[in-house]
């Protein structure tokens, strides 16, 4: 760094320890190459290329014209909480009281609130490795401890009840799973979730289920962990399936007994989620919007169906077929470079941006990379051609 | 609570300890009375009644139409960071590098980031009592300790270098001051800030200055603490002066050496602030917008000039004249009820909603209440009439 912090200036251990998103470094490097005139195929970004659907944009514009720019209650706009609860009934056949719905500034807000109400300093939360990198940092910021459960293709990169049991300690308070998962794109069925839930709750812990990529599944629909019982924390988002990344809007379904604590924390640390975004999101469940989203889901499925065999043909190791999200987690051992080096040479020499495994944990991360199929078929084809040319030389 | 958390379920100490905003309870009670047909004069809410200025709304609509709905970098949209830096040059004559500007989800985000990079568990931050209630909770959530410096009208409810020295301990890492202050509306001049800055930095600590109510000053303009040196953390917001509360957008000017750590934390805990809000805020510094804001500032000044003598005439004790924000912090000892009781009877029997002092700390809080002049002159006149009738009987 060009501006070191002076020795006597205060800085917290967490500020020194929290790692950057490597994908952000890759993206910044890619943009710098583009500024020099290079063409880069972006398969690093965990953000759909699709814009926010027109009915949601229209609702946002209407909200601004109507002057909906004041604070909402900390738990969210009552009609949006009701709409989210109603969505669980129509899509999943699960009845949720709107009182359990907490609208948050992105699912990031939901993750922070959830861990903050569950963990004291030194308390542990079980996470998969590989997994969403921010989760361990949310634990870190509140002085909790993230404990990694290494997962492999043998269990579809998902944890089992046995793994929960093996990693549970006297300090464990919660376990967090993701379905579909980032970076692996795999799902947990209700039948797989049930023993995990049982393993967690029989030990007096809380199960937190990240359902942020729900809706983006190819083959079978995702099942919600809310069907397991009313003691599960479920986190979801308007970012991915609903195409509202930049609006920063998500939600948490909390067990009823925790809502008061979540409300007090949210009042203090966020005040509330964005009001225009909440009004816009009221259009997210409209049939016209859902029809657009379904067409996009089909487009993502076609992209997966192109990219998965294409990468396998190039020699990337993908023993399972991911059924959700928009990621392919690929072994890259046969190319003779570690994942960080491979990512760098592919960016600089082949003009293809992907993410090294180190963003998602430490377990076997140096032999894995993540491809995101968040760009068009044409661009993916260009990317695959460049990879083919480069990797065969 | 109707849904107690079962004895074996995990819950953090912070979740049990963090207090609700009492003003939110008052607001909820007022809304319940209104639903029963009662008319309530709202002088509890810390949110201007004015809508977002039309040029900002128009810029927000244009951003949505242009499809600006994807993530921005974690530190914010580059052109907004530049615009904020430029605003310091034109309004204050202070040169700030755009690289030091961090755009945040509300000033709430800036407060959390700042304390998170400064405090380890058990580390202390000095705050005034009374002061903005969330500040001690931001410290609590990351396991830092908020240490209260009691302040009175004798120092305009502001701290002095002597108070900093008296409260400093081996664990103190930072001091936070607010100018204008919530709930007292008082300012610190640069000449008053300088010895405070000196007291903090000579002890190896960081000075954090909350300038969230800048722009809303009556008599003399507020001076920015950034003029003191490049080691000060300054927090500001688009909420209050710029009328963008519900958009959730603020900013932090961090010392250059901390920007990398702030970036890594922001990447992980927020990803970024709202993209439509950031594009809308580009219109906040436009001359047309500033003209609207100046007219509003004058309206707030007229409101203060009405309400302050009116409340004094009723017997509220206000030994000083607040020069900023939109709050009056008033002693209520002569009415023979503690502040919580007085607030309840004024709401239920007089139909006037105000905030009890307990929202802002513990020091003399039972003998103080806060009035917000965030409603129209007509409504304030009705409120004062109701208070006069009620308090004289």
B345-364 average pLDDT score: 96
- Which of A268, A272, A289 to probe the B interface (max B CBs under 10 A)? A268
For chain B, percent of residues with pLDDT exceeding 90: 91
Q: pLDDT tens digits for B62-107? A: 999 999 999 999 999 999 999 999 999 999 999 999 999 999 999 9
| Inter-chain CB proximity B261 and A120 less than 8 Å | no
| Inter-chain CB proximity B5 and A258 less than 8 Å | yes
Query: Is the pLDDT higher at B131 or at A24?
Result: B131
* Residue A46 clears pLDDT 60, i.e. is over it: yes
Measured CA to CA, the distance from residue A304 to residue A358 in angstroms comes to 23
Nearest residue in chain B measured CA to CA from A138: B269
Measured CA to CA, the distance from residue A153 to residue A143 in angstroms comes to 31
| Inter-chain CB proximity B246 and A14 less than 8 Å | no
Domain positions in chain B are: 13-51+289-392, 54-286
For A70, phi then psi, to 5°, come to: -90, 170
- Given a contact cutoff of 8 angstroms between Cβ atoms, the answer to whether B352 and B387 are in contact is yes
Residue A393: the pLDDT is: 64
Measured CA to CA, the distance from residue B17 to residue B64 in angstroms comes to 40
Closest Cβ opposite residue A15 in set B61, B69, B116: B116
Residue A126: the pLDDT is: 98
From the list A155, A114, A151, A163, the residue with the least C-alpha distance to A135 is A114
- In the numeric block, the tokens 């204008």 are attached to B180
A275-285 average pLDDT score: 98
Question: How much is the pTM?
Answer: 0.95
Name the fold adopted by A54-285: 3.40.640
- Given a contact cutoff of 8 angstroms between Cβ atoms, the answer to whether B264 and A18 are in contact is yes
Residue A19: the pLDDT is: 85
CA distance A310 to chain B (A): 28
Q: pLDDT tens digits for A367-387? A: 999 999 999 999 999 999 999
Measured CA to CA, the distance from residue A146 to residue A123 in angstroms comes to 9
Query: B271: which chain A residues are within 8 Å (Cβ-Cβ)?
Result: 106, 108, 248
A207 is written with which tokens?
């199960």
Measured CA to CA, the distance from residue B97 to residue A330 in angstroms comes to 41
Residue A35 CB contacts under 8 Å (≥ 6 apart), including other chains: none
For chain A, percent of residues with pLDDT exceeding 70: 98
Q: What is the DSSP letter of B365?
A: G
Q: pLDDT tens digits for A98-152? A: 999 999 999 999 999 999 999 999 999 999 999 998 999 999 999 999 999 999 9
From the list A181, A175, A227, A211, the residue with the least C-alpha distance to A196 is A175
Nearest residue in chain B measured CA to CA from A203: B8
* Residue A197 clears pLDDT 60, i.e. is over it: yes
Closest Cβ opposite residue A69 in set B51, B123, B143: B51
Confidence band of B247 (pLDDT split at 50, 70, 90): very high
**E strand spans, B211-366:** 233-237, 250-253, 327-331, 352-353, 355-356
Helix (H) or strand (E) holding B112: helix B106-118
Closest Cβ opposite residue B248 in set A67, A105, A256: A105
Measured CA to CA, the distance from residue B236 to residue B243 in angstroms comes to 13
Residue B25: the pLDDT is: 83
| Inter-chain CB proximity B10 and A205 less than 8 Å | yes
Query: A15: which chain B residues are within 8 Å (Cβ-Cβ)?
Result: 116-118, 258, 261, 264-265
Q: A13-51+289-392 architecture in CATH?
A: Alpha-Beta Complex (3.90)
Residue A1: the pLDDT is: 41
Residue B7: the pLDDT is: 66
Residue B8: the pLDDT is: 72
Query: A14: which chain B residues are within 8 Å (Cβ-Cβ)?
Result: 116-117, 120, 142, 265
Query: A259: which chain B residues are within 8 Å (Cβ-Cβ)?
Result: 3
Please check whether the two domains, B13-51+289-392 and B54-286, share a CATH topology.
Answer: no
Closest Cβ opposite residue B10 in set A61, A65, A206: A206
The distance of Cα B390 from the centroid of its chain, to the nearest Å, equals 31
Cα angle B342, B345, B350 (rounded to 5 degrees) comes to 115
Helix (H) or strand (E) holding B57: helix B54-65
Q: What is the DSSP letter of B94?
A: -
Closest Cβ opposite residue B18 in set A8, A105, A268: A268
Confidence band of B1 (pLDDT split at 50, 70, 90): very low
B189-196 average pLDDT score: 97
Residue B31 CB contacts under 8 Å (≥ 6 apart), including other chains: none
CA distance A324 to chain B (A): 21
Query: A268: which chain B residues are within 8 Å (Cβ-Cβ)?
Result: 18, 21, 133-134, 137-138, 141
Name the fold adopted by B54-286: 3.40.640
Query: B258: which chain A residues are within 8 Å (Cβ-Cβ)?
Result: 5, 11, 15
| Inter-chain CB proximity A204 and B10 less than 8 Å | yes
B368-385 average pLDDT score: 97
**E strand spans, B257-365:** 327-331, 352-353, 355-356
Confidence band of A220 (pLDDT split at 50, 70, 90): confident
Closest Cβ opposite residue B10 in set A105, A118, A276: A118
Residue A4: the pLDDT is: 62
Whether the predicted interface score ipTM is above 0.85: yes
Query: B132: which chain A residues are within 8 Å (Cβ-Cβ)?
Result: none
3-state class (DSSP) for residue B282: coil
| Inter-chain CB proximity B137 and A269 less than 8 Å | yes
CA distance B365 to chain A (A): 19
Residue A79: the pLDDT is: 97
Residue A392: the pLDDT is: 82
Q: pLDDT tens digits for A78-107? A: 999 999 999 999 999 999 999 999 999 999
| Inter-chain CB proximity A5 and B68 less than 8 Å | no
Residue B220: the pLDDT is: 87
| Inter-chain CB proximity B138 and A269 less than 8 Å | yes
- Which of B127, B264, B273, B284 to probe the A interface (max A CBs under 10 A)? B264
3-state secondary structure chain A: CCCCCCCCCCCCHHHHHCCCCHHHHHHHHHHHHHHCCCCCEECCCCCCCCCCCHHHHHHHHHHHHCCCCCCCCCCCCHHHHHHHHHHHHHHHCCCCCHHHEEEECHHHHHHHHHHHHHCCCCCEEEEEECCCHHHHHHHHHCCCEEEEEECCHHHCCCCCHHHHHHHCCCCEEEEEEECCCCCCCCCCCHHHHHHHHHHHHCCCCEEEEECCCCCCECCCCCCCHHHHCCCCEEEEECCCCCCCHHHCCEEEECCHHHHHHHHHHHHHHCCCCCHHHHHHHCCCCCHHHHHHHHHHHHHHHHHHHHHHHHHHHHCCECCCCCCECCEEEEECHHHCCCHHHHHHHHHHHHCEECEEHHHHCCCCHHHEEEEECCCCHHHHHHHHHHHHHHHHC
| Inter-chain CB proximity B9 and A69 less than 8 Å | no
Residue B194: the pLDDT is: 98
| Inter-chain CB proximity A71 and B246 less than 8 Å | yes
CA distance A8 to chain B (A): 6
B330-355 average pLDDT score: 96
Residue A140: the pLDDT is: 94
| Inter-chain CB proximity B1 and A257 less than 8 Å | yes
Measured CA to CA, the distance from residue A191 to residue A225 in angstroms comes to 10
Q: pLDDT tens digits for B145-159? A: 999 999 999 999 999
Lowest mean pLDDT among A17-31, A233-247, B111-125, B312-326: A17-31
Residue A3: the pLDDT is: 61
* Residue A22 clears pLDDT 50, i.e. is over it: yes
Helix (H) or strand (E) holding B385: helix B377-392
């Amino acid at each position: 760094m060009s501006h070191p912090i002076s020795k006597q200036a205060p800085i917290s251990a967490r500020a020194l320890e929290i790692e950057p998103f490597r994908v952000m470094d890759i993206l910044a490097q890619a943009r710098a190459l583009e500024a020099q005139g290079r063409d880069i195929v972006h398969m690093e970004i965990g953000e759909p290329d699709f814009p926010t659907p027109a009915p949601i944009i229209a609702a946002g514009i209407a909200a601004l014209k109507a002057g909906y720019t004041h604070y909402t209650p900390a738990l969210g706009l009552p009609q949006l909480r009701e709409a989210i609860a109603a969505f669980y009934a129509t899509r999943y056949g699960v009845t949720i009281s709107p009182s359990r719905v907490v609208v948050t500034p992105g699912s990031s807000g939901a993750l922070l609130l959830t861990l903050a109400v569950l963990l004291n300093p030194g308390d542990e939360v079980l996470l998969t490795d590989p997994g969403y990198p921010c989760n361990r940092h949310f634990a870190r910021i509140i002085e909790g401890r993230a404990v990694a459960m290494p997962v492999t293709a043998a269990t579809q990169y998902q944890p089992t009840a046995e793994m929960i049991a093996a990693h549970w300690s006297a300090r464990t308070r919660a376990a967090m799973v993701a379905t579909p998962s980032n970076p692996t794109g795999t799902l947990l069925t209700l039948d797989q979730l049930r023993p995990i839930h049982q393993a967690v709750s029989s030990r007096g812990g809380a199960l937190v289920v990240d359902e942020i990529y729900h809706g983006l599944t190819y083959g079978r629909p995702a099942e919600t962990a809310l069907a397991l019982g009313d003691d599960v924390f479920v986190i979801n988002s308007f970012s991915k399936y609903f195409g509202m990344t930049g609006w920063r809007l998500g939600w948490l379904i909390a067990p009823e007994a925790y809502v008061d604590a979540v409300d007090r924390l949210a009042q203090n640390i966020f005040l509330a989620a964005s009001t225009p975004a909440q009004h816009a999101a009221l259009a997210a469940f409209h049939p016209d919007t859902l029809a657009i989203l379904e067409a996009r889901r089909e487009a993502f499925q076609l992209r997966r169906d192109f990219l998965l065999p294409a990468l396998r043909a190039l020699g990337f190791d993908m023993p399972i077929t991911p059924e959700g999200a928009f990621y392919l987690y690929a072994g890259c051992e046969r190319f003779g470079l570690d994942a960080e080096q491979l990512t760098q040479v592919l960016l600089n020499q082949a003009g293809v941006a992907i993410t090294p495994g180190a963003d998602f944990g430490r377990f076997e991360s140096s032999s894995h990379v993540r491809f995101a199929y968040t760009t068009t078929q044409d661009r993916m084809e260009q990317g695959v051609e460049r990879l083919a040319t480069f990797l065969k030389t």
